[in-house]
Structure 1
Amino acid sequence: MYSIIAISKFLKFSYFKKLKFILRGIFFKQQINDLFNLLNQKELHYFLVNYPEILNKPFRSYQCCNMPTHEKFKNIYFHYSFLKQKFCSEKIQMIYSFKGFNLLETMLSENLLSLRLCYVGNLGKEGELTLMMLLDNKEIYSIQFSFIEKSNQVEIYLCGIQSRNDVNGDELKDITKKMYGLRPRNFIIFTLRVIGSYFNLLLIQAVKTNFHTSNCSRVKKTGKFFANYNEYWEEEAGVDNQQFYTLSTINRKKEMTEIPSKKRSLFKQRYQMLDAYELEIKNNLSLLTKKDDKTNIFVKEDKSI
């Protein structure tokens, strides 16, 4: 077992911040050791070396407001256990490197549309993975999520969604038109559902507006959080569930009889486009995962937080 002082040496902190970590760590020594030992394994060592601040995440605002520290440790530990078991080690390193891993690359009219699975450090309080939508290698939308365990089943925690800071309404309208009326925000949630269904997961837990990390007591005075997450999740048929909205991983299509006749051609083109995208995304997910993996089974390690 490593001492808290030895582990603190991995942190690129000032002396004061390291001391603060050590004092906090006295009360969570076992959890810190378990997380450190997991991340220090060869499959995940790249992440530990490049993002050592993950060891301090449970002591800060993370995923949603009012989450107990021990639950933060548990969620981080589970996410990386899941990745270690499901994903090829070289692909984990690719995801957490600067360039990430592309789940989709295709032409959208005259533009290159990409979906990238990566890690964005300054958004790490919202999740351990970022799914980014890009047009001509320029970010349009992104979501932050993690794999977690809840009630003995694997689910997705969706704790952040945002467009690029300087994206304008005309740009979004143009993309929506090219995607047969599908907005970028809805498309990126569609993609997250595809990821969930690939692993045979049933549910996504999407954080409510009031419980977003930017609205936690220690940071809520910043006044920079204006998004209405509740409205987003309700639009996606989310069901109110305490601090979250529960979303299904099933991408539902409207029956043609439900669609006004003048719009049926548009919806048919949209669904054909999404079917093709889903196939490519799942093919690329198969390149990420281990060949002998059964996607609906997760085996817990003997030692877990």
Structure 2
Amino acid sequence: MHSISHFWNVSRGIYGPRNFKENKRAVVFFVRAISNRALFEELYTFFDQYPPMKGFLETHDPDFQEVMTRVFLFKNSTMRQRLDAVEHHFTILRQFFSDDVIKEIYWGKGYTLWQSQDAANPLKVRLIFDTGQRKEGFLSLYLYSREDMLYHFNFRFDYNKAGEPALYIGTLQGSKEGLELTKEITKKLFGYRPKNFILYLLRIFTQTLGIKDLYAITDAGFYTNSHILRGNRSKKTSLDVFWKEEGAEATPSEEFYWQMPITEKRRKYDDIPSRKRNLFRKRYLLMDDIIPDYIAHVKELFRDDFRPTPSAIDEAAITEKPADYDPIEAPKTQE
């Protein structure tokens, strides 16, 4: 068992004697850690016995231990719940991805899952671990334009109440300075907003892994709601409206999460105003070009023995299409 001095040194290593707030957090970390040493020892043992993460807390990212002592992930989460979330996430992760891939995600720079070859629309999608985003999850899917971040999801894998692997979205964040860039990219994606585009990619990611359930944090369940008095640190952006626009529904099995459809339904000819039909046609043809390459890159991360059945087949993933294929299914003949 680690000594009391170990936890004090960890607390000082994470926070440092920089100011009153950091000193206070160091003390809180220390008190909570020594009061829950058995749970910390469980965390250490889990990572020691998990080859891709062995030594991670000691040499690469000691700050990750803050997940144990602060109320992250969802409202009023306990240390036991957060430790379970860590163990479940990494257990599921190793069912999907090879050890080398996991090490590159958490020790290295992650992976580019898709990159536009269009110099006029230089988008890039990356799967990474960003330690600064650990409050809401343990993986992130980022959308960049050149090196400018547009949007990213923070999420984690966990078991749902049925005991099945599921994907839990902790937040969707956009660039504070990216409003004009977002408008520009929306035009280049034929009216497809970047936040809808990255949600679409996360859904395809979910489908490709064979995961059937996708959940998104509710505004009420956001972790900052754990404290009555938080001043200007409270959550300012509502996501519930966006989730509901995308088909989110309440589910009795999840107190703090909406259940999201894992598919995005394409609008068809009769559902689209005539003035917008060509715009939607171009958008869907663009997705038909992007998605097969994106799926191929996701599959490159899989363990050799992981061959999931996709939980859904998106229309864009179907590469063999008839010569007269039209993504919005225009009538063959019109008067």
Whether TM exceeds 0.5 here: the answer is yes
Superposition map of 1:14-163 within 5 A: 14=16, 20-21=28-29, 23-26=31-34, 28-40=36-48, 41-45=50-54, 47-48=56-57, 49-97=59-107, 99-108=109-118, 110-151=120-161, 152-163=163-174
Residue among 271, 277, 280 paired with 1:258: 271
Bigger CA drift: 3-12 or 144-153?
3-12
Decide whether the 8 Å contact of 1:44 with 1:84 is kept in 2. no
Task: Give the aligned CA root-mean-square deviation in angstroms.
Answer: 2.6
User: How many Å apart are 1:292 and its aligned residue?
Assistant: 1.0
Residue among 205, 212, 231 paired with 2:241: 231
The letter for the 2-side match of 1:220 is R
SS at structure 1 position matched to 2:286: helix
Output one character per residue of 1:47-88: Cα deviation in whole Å (capped at 9) or x when no partner.
433222323313212111122321111111111112233212
* 5+ residue gaps, structure 2: 18-22, 311-335
Are the structure 2 counterparts of residues 224 and 22 from structure 1 closer, same or farther at C-alpha, using a change threshold of 3 Å?
closer
User: How many Å apart are 1:218 and its aligned residue?
Assistant: 6.6
Decide whether the 8 Å contact of 1:46 with 1:93 is kept in 2. no
The letter for the 1-side match of 2:281 is K
**Count of residues in correspondence between the two structures:** 295
* 5+ residue gaps, structure 1: 298-305
Q: Percent identity?
A: 22
The letter for the 2-side match of 1:111 is N
The corresponding residue for 1:301 is none
Output one character per residue of 1:128-166: Cα deviation in whole Å (capped at 9) or x when no partner.
011110011211111100001112011111111111121
Q: Distance in 2 between matches of 1:23 and 1:202?
A: 40
Decide whether the 8 Å contact of 2:72 with 2:136 is kept in 1. yes
The letter for the 1-side match of 2:2 is S
The letter for the 1-side match of 2:262 is T
User: How many Å apart are 1:187 and its aligned residue?
Assistant: 0.8
The corresponding residue for 2:331 is none
**Higher strand proportion, which one?**
1
The corresponding residue for 1:184 is 194
User: How many Å apart are 1:29 and its aligned residue?
Assistant: 3.8
Decide whether the 8 Å contact of 2:92 with 2:165 is kept in 1. no
Choose 1 or 2 for highest CA Rg: 2
User: How many Å apart are 1:185 and its aligned residue?
Assistant: 0.6
Bigger CA drift: 7-16 or 220-229?
7-16
